[in-house]
Amino acid sequence: MRYLTRIVFLRTVLAGICVTLGATWSGTALAQQSAQATGATAGASAVPTWNVGVAQATGSTCGYCSMTDQARANALGIGLLSSPVADVVPATYFVNSGSTGTAREYQVGGGAMTMRDIDGYMSFGVAEGLPPLTPDTTARIPNETQTLALAQALGTRLGLPAGEIAGFQTHGLAISGGTLLGPIAPTTIGRAVEFHRAVGGHRVLGSQARFEFGRDGVLKSALVHWPQFRLKPGKLRDRGAVLAEVAPKTNGRVVQELEVVFAQGTDGSMAPMMLVVTAPASGAVSVNRDLVPLTE
């Protein structure tokens, strides 16, 4: 008898590891830039230092940034792409890009692939149902070491600049929930690796690469946000002026994080910013994230 099962499941990210990479494929590890403060306001000592170098940063040569759609598909092992369907995407869809762009969508290998040039975006995902949860299935999921090696190989083939890979996180991917036949205990069905990006030791907000692998290390999804690093021209602001702008954002609030970062502006260029993350002193969950320019 063929059972009709309606799968209701929740994908769960299992606890993984977060480390900085070594000096092989990864380049220089990301320096710790954030500062923690427990008071209601941030003093000057809580703010990380920065120098003129942050206004002169240059990104590494980015092979990914100049790749064609087909070359990216080849790097992922997807094969020949068909003609794309163009989709006009409004400005509100982009993170910090500020203008309307066009996304190219492909139907490939039982899934879908999307490309956008404006913010260096690429996504790929396989459309499939829940795999059979047999001992053979779950025993053939790659471990953390194997998953990292697979992701590093993809990063190399995609031309992601080694000098900008700052660290990585690995996660087990699990499902739980139930079917008409009963509950499904949390079961690992894959593993993911996420690479973080930094330039000159400073994080690039919104820029990352994430790969998910299933049984036997088969790629199930990929998500890359890696715009070309083009520094916005400007001179460094006076430190006192920056602190004067930071201070009102911290009044009466607990400072959770202060970090020098790069953020993409409305013209697509990158600018150094002070990321200010604060929360109410009452312990409420509301968190504010503000960006204060470091150049003018």
CB 65 within 8 A of CB 276: no
CB 54 within 8 A of CB 235: no
CA atoms of 43 and 292, how far apart (whole Å) = 16
Please tell me what DSSP assigns to residue 77.
Answer: T
Both tokens of 129, joined, read: 């149902």
What pLDDT is attached to residue 95?
47
CA atoms of 101 and 227, how far apart (whole Å) = 14
CA atoms of 244 and 251, how far apart (whole Å) = 12
3-state secondary structure of 194: strand
Q: Give the DSSP H or E segment for 148.
A: helix 144-157
Mean pLDDT by 10 residues, the chain (296 residues): 33 52 34 30 58 90 94 92 78 48 81 85 82 73 94 97 93 75 77 95 94 93 93 93 92 89 86 93 82 95
3-state secondary structure of 141: coil
Distances 293 to 46, 105, 254 between C-alpha atoms, Å: 17, 35, 21
For residue 142, how many other CB atoms are within 10 A of its CB? 18
Backbone φ and ψ for 105, nearest 5 degrees, come out as: -115, 135
Q: What is the pLDDT of residues 195-237, one digit of tens each?
A: 999 999 999 998 999 999 998 999 999 999 999 999 999 999 9
What pLDDT is attached to residue 166?
92
Longest CA pairwise span in the chain (Å): 75
Separation of CA 160 from chain center: 13
